[in-house]
Amino acid sequence: MRVDRLSLRNYRNYKTLDVNFTNNINIFVGENAQGKTNILEAVYLGAVGRSHRTAEDDDLVKWDQDSASVDLFFTRHNVENKLGFRLIKGRNKEILFNDFIIKPREVIGSLNVVLFSPEDLWLIKGAPSLRRRFLDIEISQASPLYYRNLLQYNRAVTQRNHLLKKVLNRNKLPELLPSWDEQLAKLAAFIVDKRLEAVKKLGMLANLMHRRLTGSRESLSFVYQMAGGEDDIPGDLYQWYRDKLAEQREVDIARGSTSVGPHRDDIILRVNARELRSFGSQGQQRTGILALKLAELEFLKSETGEYPVLLLDDVMSELDSLRREQLLSFIRDRVQTFITATDATLFPAMRAGRYFRVQDGKITE
């Protein structure tokens, strides 16, 4: 999988841009706030359908313009494709796949990417929602069915929560809840089953990468932690969720929210059996994230048959020279990669890519 060309009109700080890429490593060098990350953001938009930096599409339109466009030309399984985004301030974006209008949920899985940025350290340090989102994006890129079920589950949780509040205020009868619990149990069982499969595979891959990065001195492990569950994952997830939702019903009514389900689960990362979030050094946490990102590449390749596109946003300066070289040696001639950096000297031995100078919304090679 590769991105061949990107065309921008009035996007962020770019009035107009048309640039072709190598299928190896593309390096964008420039000072801060010149537009480097905007390139990666546009590619990420093509994979997920939204920015990783803002929830507002209007933020993507150049400040002095009313509309913008993004066109991505990419090759998947040797077939050329085009993704287009039409952004108009105050309106929902229009998305086109090979010039046919599609729904936002249909974008996922068209162009697969893995994004690595300094903020990814929060995957370890931050809230469980960040780890759930990371896992959901990876699985959704490989399985459109998972993404559809996830959307349906999230809508069902929202509707059940509304009903819980109405029951508490005596505007609705509690007898209506069992039907929602039945629907939630089915969807929750499907989602958690897929997550467990992904965590098992990602865990094995990440541990292999982590041992390579640490000279086999450390082992990395993943543990999926179910909200309201015990250490062991129940054999019958559907029945477990049915029972648990019924057991927690009165508590949920009092709180006005659903306390059990994949929307409250977590993934625990451990190095040598010690939780990385609480006991890992900053160096161990960075190595853990790097191993995780390399594992993502292999996971998506195993699921889709192709490596995804790798986006490295200003992370080279966060890694020491040894880990930079290990990362570059892994991706070189293997994965199409887009790298942003403020310092070209971070790539002294790089000979397998193209360099682009980025200055004030303009790119020169």
> Of 31, 150, 139, 12, which is closest to residue 85 (Cα–Cα)?
12
272 among annotated binding-site residues: no
Residue with tokens 């994949």: 262
158 among annotated binding-site residues: no
> Of 334, 360, 364, 285, which is closest to residue 118 (Cα–Cα)?
285
User: At 121, is the pLDDT very low, low, confident or very high (cuts 50, 70, 90)?
Assistant: confident
Q: Exposed/middle/buried for 321, CB within 10 Å: 0-12, 13-18, 19+? A: exposed
> Of 115, 3, 121, which is closest to residue 50 (Cα–Cα)?
115
- The domain over range 1-112+306-365 is classified in CATH as 3.40.50.300: yes
Q: Where are the domains of the chain?
A: 1-112+306-365, 120-305
98 among annotated binding-site residues: no
Beta-bridge partners for 96? 84, 101
362 among annotated binding-site residues: no
Torsion of CA 138, 141, 143, 144, to 10 degrees: 130
Q: pLDDT tens digits for 56-103? A: 999 999 999 999 999 999 999 999 999 999 999 999 999 999 999 999
230 among annotated binding-site residues: no
Residue 68 · residue 84 · CB < 8 Å: no
pTM of the entire structure?
A: 0.90
Of 82-86, 205-209, 318-322, the one with minimum mean pLDDT is 318-322
283 among annotated binding-site residues: no
The CATH number of the structural domain formed by 120-305 is 1.20.1050.90
pLDDT > 90: percent of the chain: 75
User: At 118, is the pLDDT very low, low, confident or very high (cuts 50, 70, 90)?
Assistant: confident
Contact residues for 317 (Cβ-Cβ < 8 A; gap 6+): 341, 342, 343, 346
Q: pLDDT tens digits for 222-266? A: 899 998 665 678 889 999 999 999 999 999 999 999 999 999 999
Residue 136 · residue 129 · CB < 8 Å: no
- d(CA 349, CA 29) in angstroms, rounded, equals 16
Q: What's residue 346's pLDDT?
A: 82
169 among annotated binding-site residues: no
